[in-house]
A and B are shown apart, each in its own frame.
Chain A
Amino acid sequence: MDTLILEIHTPGLHRYEVIDKPRIRIGRAFDNDIILSEPTVAPYHLDIIRDDDGHIELHNLTDVNPARFNGQAKKSISLGKLPIDIKLGRIEARIVLPSQSVADTKTLPGNGQSQHWFSHAFWGVLLITVCLIVSAIDFHIHSFTNYKWDTLAKLVARETALYLVGLIFFLAILERLIFNRSEIKPLVVVISLSYLMFQLITPLVAELNYIFTSHLPELLFDITWYAILMPFIASLYLIHIYHQKRSNSAWLAMLLCSPLIILSAIDVTQVLGYLDSFSAAANYHRDLSALNWQNDVTISIVSFIEHARLLSPGVVSD
């Protein structure tokens, strides 16, 4: 029999051992041929024995977490059709022929250009700086007192910088847990771009609210942002940075964004429920705009009173 390959699945890149000796012993003890430093692997877990005729037998050496061959617990097996899956404690492995075909090479999107851009520290630093400037402008627009520069800087540092750093830190940990690695630079770029997009769209949505004297644009934006755009961005990130399959990335993105989706769904449900449930407060459209673009025509007082005559009372709640 030819030389065989033992493929040991470990987080990150797999480990490959050549099986070309008459006897190879696998276990956690240091005198094994292949050492697996995994607590669920026994000190002497598996023997791979090749006889003079080239036949190979696999012998289980432990009663604790015994080795499983193609999912079945057996004392020993003769090696027949390859590949064969082996489970050693929590470690998954398989024996393959060197001629075993491998998956096609995944091409980098845009010939690797996008990864290059996303992974460049310059863009990360630039975008974070833009985020902080935009945040400072936002604080300035929403402040009605005489802020000094140092107060504004403290506010930006406390509110925005801390928030962005916290988010990047949290997602980096998540990356490490899922993929056993963290891509900090692309993460910074994507989070910064998302933040900037949000800061840009929000005032536009408020303007649309005023133009149509309605809260529908805000409601639609909430649904779109949290249930569609955020998972879409996360999915793109998984495809481009972690080379996940499209279907896998979509599911994983939905899973990662599920807290946001659930929160936005609760929010929308509350808004819709709010319209039906009783409220002692009058909920009228209060938005005002410096641009003062409005879809409704301005009417005379007499015309207003004629319209007002048709206003019915609100619904009585059960």
Chain B
Amino acid sequence: MRQIITFFSLLVLGQLLQTALALESKAIYKMHEDNVFQIRVLNRETGKKSGIGSGFIVDNGLKVATNFHVISQIITEPERFTISYLSKNGRSGPLKLLGLDIAHDLALLGSESPLGQANKMSALPPKGSTIFAMGNPLDLGLTIAVGTNGGILNQTDDSRILFSGSLNPGMSGGPTYNDDGEVIGINVATARNAISFIVPSHYLNRLIERVKKTPLAADQDLKIEVTQQLIQYENNYLKGILDQDWPKVQLRQVSLPGAISPTVRCWDNSQKLADKVLYKRYQISCANQNQVYLDSQNKFVGNLNYHYFWLESDELNALQFYNLYQKLNEVKIGSRVSPDVISNFNCKNWFVDASQQTFKTSLCRREYVEYEGLSDILFTAALTGHENTGLFVRLTMTGIDYEASLPLIQKFMESIEWTP
């Protein structure tokens, strides 16, 4: 009995102690107000800021961590822009780029002179814990936002923590603290309505270690570095998808690949048709959630989307049905990019046998102008030879190595199973 009382007394004491030790937002703000900066991308000619974000001191006090997307302008136009920091008390100075982690939207910057006390890193606290995000929202000054840890999101390839709190533009690259004031992640994005995302701190630790071993050379072509990192990440991502068995989804008479990765979510997009319409159509759309920021022109790449579109009719004759089938196939697929950043699509058609059915397939490829080796791919397949049944398969991938995408297309086609 005494042991039980002692156990519970210790437990209660521990909780009280933990509560007493846990810092409040006011204390965390006070503790870190001098080691969280506004990161500014300045135009060399005017000296004025072209983009802003947040950053914080890490490692030996000479490095600043931020998001890649905050400073991405110096990748595309290094001759026009430079990076600097601005502290809460008005101290400022230049920063240079030491390392990048494109896949996780991280950048490590360095200063010639000591910046202050470095932040301590920590692992992610349990789900539901209170966490605190610091940054400079909308150029309004340093602030702190309180929220809770929603855990690591597997649909983002484990690259994001769900933060139930408000991040705003300008806070990107700022630190997120646990209640001990240790960095558990880096602010990165928001979906509004207090749904925000944070990069886990272990990716930052990995970047710091990599920079120590192989820092970026002063004359290094950053676009090549960006391309290589992106291709490496996407190739690993595709390999992970190809190495596992794919779940199936049944769409009327055909079995098709379902959510082929934990990062992919599938939705039924079938539309309700009017009663007088003489056909039925069903649609399933799948898309991944782990896009990667490339630059201000191309925005995000790493999309993996696929759509299935089934069409059937017992009442339309073959001529009517194929007129409809073709009409629905004529929807153009594209994106809002300019010729400065990407080439035209080059497309070719083949008739391909899959599961004893003939598909009219088309494969289109275009390449990024400034990131040699990165391609966007569009693959479509339309079932042929059936009087009143149609199926479109449409697969798009962006910012990917073309060669690496072909095994995925092959497995995709091989996974189609016709069930008469």
Contact = CB atoms under 8 A, between A and B. Distances in A.
Contacts of A301: 352-354, 410, 413-414
Interface of A: 140-146, 213, 278-290, 292, 294, 296-302, 304-305, 307-309, 311-318
B276 A313 contact: no
A208 to B, nearest CB: 15
Nearest to A206: B326
A313 B402 CA distance: 9
Contacts of B360: 213, 288
A283 B346 CA distance: 8
Contacts of B245: none
A286 B352 contact: no
B333 interface: yes
B46 to A, nearest CB: 30
Contacts of B349: 213, 284-285, 296
Interface of B: 274, 276-279, 313, 315-326, 329-330, 332-339, 342-354, 358, 360-367, 369, 375, 378, 380, 382, 384-385, 387, 390, 402-403, 406-407, 409-410, 413-414
Contacts of B344: 278-279, 314-317
A296 B339 contact: no
Contacts of A307: 348, 350
Q: Enumerate the 4 nearest inter-chain pairs by beta-carbon distance, A residue then B residue, closest first.
A: A281-B334, A314-B344, A278-B339, A313-B367
Nearest to A281: B334
Q: Is the interface of A mostly helix, strand, loop or mixed?
A: loop
Most chain B CB inside 10 Å of its own CB: which residue of A145, A283, A314:
A314
A279 B382 contact: no
Contacts, number: 160
5 contacts: A141-B323, A144-B313, A144-B316, A299-B350, A301-B353
A289 B315 CA distance: 18
A318 B343 CA distance: 10
B329 A286 contact: yes
Given A141-B320, A314-B346, A282 B329 contact: no
A312 B343 CA distance: 11
Contact of B358 (A142, A281, A298): A298
A290 B321 contact: yes
A270 to B, nearest CB: 15
A18 to B, nearest CB: 69
A288 B382 contact: yes
Nearest to A302: B410
Contact of B378 (A141, A282, A285): A282
A106 to B, nearest CB: 47
Nearest to A203: B319
A287 B413 CA distance: 21
B384 A288 contact: yes
B309 to A, nearest CB: 13
Contact of B366 (A289, A294, A314): A314
A75 B324 CA distance: 78
Contacts of B277: 144-146
Given A281-B334, A308-B409, A309-B406, A290 B350 contact: no
Contact of A304 (B335, B350, B385): B350
B373 to A, nearest CB: 10
A313 B365 contact: yes
Contacts of B339: 278, 316-318
Given A146-B276, A288-B326, A314-B343, A305 B362 contact: no
